Amino acid sequence: MFLFFPVATAFAEDAAPAAGGTFGMGSLMNMAPIILMFVIFYFLLIRPQQKKAKEHREMLSQVQKGDSVITSSGIHGKVTAVAEDTLTIEIADDVRVKFSRDAVAARKP
């Protein structure tokens, strides 16, 4: 049993990888899962969120007087006046409230 110990040690020393500071295929394969996760996050989370934000900005720019809207706080009303960054919304008879354009969540058909 003691005879094979030096031979096993010699093989273990011989099998050690060479230390190199270059960027090789092994380094690329180690980074592949991280790159793959970023691609998945982009297509499943980031891209749809950007698309939805773009559609919301377009909807806000198209709000006109007379449109029925729902605010982000859940108030339903009709737009009575439009300014550059505010909307006046009538929520009941003779009850008008000024909202920021960003507070509008949706337009009702």
Same structural domain, 71 and 56: no
Same structural domain, 74 and 109: yes
Closest CA to 73 of 25, 26, 109, 106: 106
SS3 helix, strand, coil % of the chain, rounded to 5? Answer: 45, 25, 30
Same structural domain, 74 and 56: no
Same structural domain, 89 and 50: no
Residue 11 lies in a domain: no
> One digit per residue, pLDDT tens: the chain, 109 residues?
555 555 555 555 555 555 555 667 778 788 999 999 999 999 999 999 999 999 999 999 999 999 999 999 999 999 999 999 999 999 999 999 999 999 999 999 8
* Residue 27, token pair as written in the block: 């380094």
Residue 8 lies in a domain: no
Residue 76, pLDDT score: 96
Residue 13 lies in a domain: no
pLDDT tens, 27-53?
878 899 999 999 999 999 999 999 999
3-state secondary structure of 68: strand
Domain count, the chain: 2
Same structural domain, 70 and 109: yes
